[in-house]
Structure 1
């Protein structure tokens, strides 16, 4: 096929030797099947912010930091340079997450290199070498649904133990390889400790799994694995070997209104202090 413009530099640098076909075009990237030497891999070409249809990007960026103060100020102000830095941070997030998760024995594609907005990584295939199917395209028995659901819950737990939440997990970004499911598409992955919406995102990921597999095994529809996993995580008790039940006991303790009001007041003072600090920075510039 004709070589896409964004992949031409990789050919010139010898990182890939041939572009075989376009695999898919999604909300944040277009993916191609490529050959590197004797290996068949995939090249994920990220779309820029104007082309991406992925929503709520600000929620996913919460907790992502840069060390350079100039870059941080530019990103906060939304300058051209700041937007460029934000794009690099968005793209590098997937590479960083893939390496961290692979080291934590989470089933993700092996990344090789990310350069000029292109991520070169392992191509997940089926038992005859074709691209592995998405979970959404696979029919299954109730028994198989329960088995895969348990496997994927364990992957979610392993991710969380590594400090990462997928943030957009569903049957559309899980591939079913011969040896089990593989989780893909992680540019929106969030830091479990640094993102204020981490608990909600984890809950949504886990609920998405229950909703999909519940089509085949309806008993999964009434479970609360997300709350259970997050409760164990917050308590420092979550491990990859944690036994999950899907049930969480309701907290019936009375609300301490005085403590709650104190927390709200502290939060207000902190927000006012932050705004004064930011105004001072803008005035200095």
Structure 2
């Protein structure tokens, strides 16, 4: 195939040896299958901001820390340099997340490096050696759906324990290899502690994944993993190795009825006193 312009510098520098074919074009990147020596890899070519259709990017970038204060100031001002740095930050976020999650035991493609807006990483394969399918393209037995759903909930737990929320998780960005699900597409991953949108993003991630597996095992729709996960996170009791249950019951704090009645009485007395003052104003 004709070499895409963004991949030509990597060919020139010997980082890749051949571009085999285009795999897909998504909302934030195009992906190609390439050869690096004897290894077949993925090359993810990020689109620039003008082409990228990922919505509400600012919500995902909230809480991300820039090591360089100069870069951070430029990004805030929106200068040409700042926009360039914002793009670099968006791209490096996925590389950082992949390395961090792989170290935390989350199944993600192995990253090899990011060069001029091109991420080189492992090509996830199926049992026949072909490109692994997305969850959206396969059907599962009820038993496998229950097993893989539990695997995904534990993966989300490990992500959260590592301080990250995927932010855009669904059956369209999880691949299925012979061992099970592999999570992909992480440029929008958010800091669970620093991003004010982290909780609803986590809930949406869990709900999307649960809705998919519930197509094959309907009882999964009744689980409450998002509430369980966030409660553990907020309480500081998140252990990446614990087994989740999907059951959540937040016991309401016991109501002090006497205290409530006292407050009602005090408010009533104050209202009566106010009326008395209005009827008999002092001289």
TM range (shorter): 0.7 to 0.9
2: CA distance between counterparts of 1:67 and 1:244? 35
Structure 2 residue 109 is matched with structure 1 residue 133: no
Which whole-Å CA distance do the structure 2 matches of 1:135 and 1:44 have between them? Answer: 20
Task: Give the number of equivalent residue pairs.
Answer: 256
Normalising by structure 1, what TM-score?
0.87
Q: What's the offset of the Cα at 1:199?
A: 1.2
Match of 2:3 in 1: 3
The match for 1:188 is 188
Matched, 1:239 2:239: yes
**1:60 & 1:251 partners in 2: Cα distance?**
32
Structure 2 residue matching 1:24: 3-state secondary structure: strand
Superposed CA offset, 1:3-54 (max 9, x none)? 0000000001101000000000000000000000000001000000010110
Counterpart CA distance in 1 for 2:208 and 2:22 is: 28
Deviation string, structure 1 residues 61-108 (Cα, Å, up to 9, x no partner): 011111222221221121111111110000000000000111111100
1:152: Cα distance to partner?
0.7
Quote the Cα distance in structure 1 between the aligned partners of 2:143 and 2:68. Answer: 51
Number of the residue aligned with 1:145: 145
Deviation, structure 1 residue 170 = 0.5
Aligned residue for 1:74?
Answer: 74
2:89 match: 89
Q: Aligned equivalents of 1:253 and 1:57: distance in 2?
A: 38
Uncovered stretches (5+) of structure 1, i.e. residues with no partner: 256-285
1:26 is matched with: 26
**Partner of residue 46, structure 2:** 46
> What residue in structure 2 maps to residue 269 of structure 1?
none
TM-score (norm 2): 0.88
Equivalent residue, structure 2, for 1:123: 123
**Counterpart in the other structure of 2:220:** 220
Partner of 1:175: 175
Q: 1:254 & 1:86 partners in 2: Cα distance?
A: 49
Contact 2:154 2:244 survives alignment (8 Å): no
